[in-house]
Structure 1
Amino acid sequence: MRIYVLGATGHIGTHLVPRLIRAGHSVVAASRGTREPYHHDEAWDQAERVVLDRDATDADGTTAAQILAERPDAVVDLVCFTPSSAAQLVEGLRGHVGLHAHCGSIWSHGLSTSLPMAEDDPKHPFGEYGVAKHAIERLLLTETLAGGLPSTVVHPGHISGAGWPVINPVGNVDPRVWETIARGEELVVPGDASAAMHHVHADDVAQVFQRVLDVPEASVGQSFHAVSARALTVRGFAAAAYAWWGHEPRIRSVPWDEFERLAGAEHASTSWEHLHRSQVCSIAKGIDRLGYAPAWSSQAAAREAVAWLAEHDEGHDLPPLAAD
């Protein structure tokens, strides 16, 4: 197929474009600017690179027209964040492409009612991002059911990998958390440390998208979680991270108000967003219908990200991690 990837040089696209090219597809890799993907891969030399600023083209109503000018068979949309943007794309692509794969989020679930969460569980999203992703999912699946644009929705967890900050054991990206753990010092955590986070390596998210495209007969009109096989609790994640530097875990639980005072309002707010949801997602549907087989555990995906931060000193004062 000829596949158009929107947001191609981001976390997921960095891994997805080479996967699609190696599978024999022709790929049009669209990004807002000329920034390179997070990692070099020789397969990128075979991608057709185009510039598309989604905000600008949505504003002037030309997003779909610019995509269709490349004559794709399928479109992968990794950078759609509002129902209006999704609706505009649907209207423009309807009748012109055979499959549209959208990147959603496990935050479309909101608070869980049973664990692990299944894709078709009742959803109670909260917050602007989760509510918007849920609305987009409903729009796309309703469109497909009505015989319109064939769409599939992929819901990643906390995307991890080398090249960017990873959500840490207290649910934020405060560099002081990794520095504290690396020194073997006491880590203050909010609540009782039992809240869960479900990380996933960016390449495993790319795997789900690739399989969605490979088996449209099993994926169209469906949504799929893209997460690792198992989630981590705050306590378990912290213990694993201490071991990366050869330390025994030292964590101290405090009430949320004390945690906010110590971490600062911004970092505490990010932690609350992740830990209040405390999500654990099932991948049974992806395994059964797509043959999804995650290659990375939550811990391994996060470890790779932190090892990269230590090596590149991206705002972190981290010593190298101990050998596995």
Structure 2
Amino acid sequence: MTHPIHPITTLGVDVGGTKIAYGVLRGETLLTKRSVPTPREGWHSVLDAIARVVEELRAEFPDEAAVGIGVPGPLNHDNTEVKFAPNIYGFQNVPLVAYLSEKLGQKVVLENDAKAAALAEDTLGAAREASSSVYITISTGIGSGIVLNGKVWRGFNGVAGEIGHIVALPGGPVAGSNVAGALEAVASGTAMARDATFAFGTPMTTAEVFDLAQLGDTKAEKIVQGALRYIGMAIADVQKFLDPEMFVLGGGVSEVGPYLLESVQRYADEYVSGFAQVQIRKALLGTDAGVIGAALAARS
């Protein structure tokens, strides 16, 4: 189902642990995208950096209507504060909307970064024709967002879609959320690199273990396929529970290509066991999804 696109101009800011990406969305077109390093001196310095890049864009695009900001980590119930962002130094209990609204003198909309990317892929990306979709990003951790009829589903407490923190292996490795055996602790890029480093006895990256797996190295295959089985299992569980029309896989690990997508599809089909067909697609917007999604959130 194609969603209506407002022909207005909004700013999008995607805040990460190492960089702040920002850009301008007019209608369906991302006019510009830039980035600056994320400050490491605490949350005030990060918000001040956001204010500077927003002011930079406003000077160039005076017709902008609002700014949307995507940040990793859980938000409070009304999406005005960041409870904590695990990969950004000093980012705990941050009154982002109040601080930046006053500093900038305009409407500021806060969204979880994975939910923002989910909105982008549902509105302008791989799930554009779908009535409902679940976006899953596989990278340092595993995040996700649910979009139903063009709107992000947050749940009663605002934490719907935290698929990376569901328990996949009881008693397994501990994730950043302090959950033993969480999906991201056993299937993220970080988890695969950790297991490969231990198995091969030398530091290895996620890309290296995938390269070896695709070349037929049996040890690497066991590590990668074990992780992708967990992801396929989680997708099958969500399919049986929520029954979305489509799943979209994004994040750095998804760039591996057909090897990953085909493996996850195979495991999802195995575990869904005839309940419903699982449709999985690769994300289309790549690294632009966070900025585009934040800008789309500003139109809410």
TM-score for both structures, normalised by structure 1: 0.28
Structure label with greater radius of gyration: 1
Bigger proportion of residues as strand: 2
TM-score for both structures, normalised by structure 2: 0.30
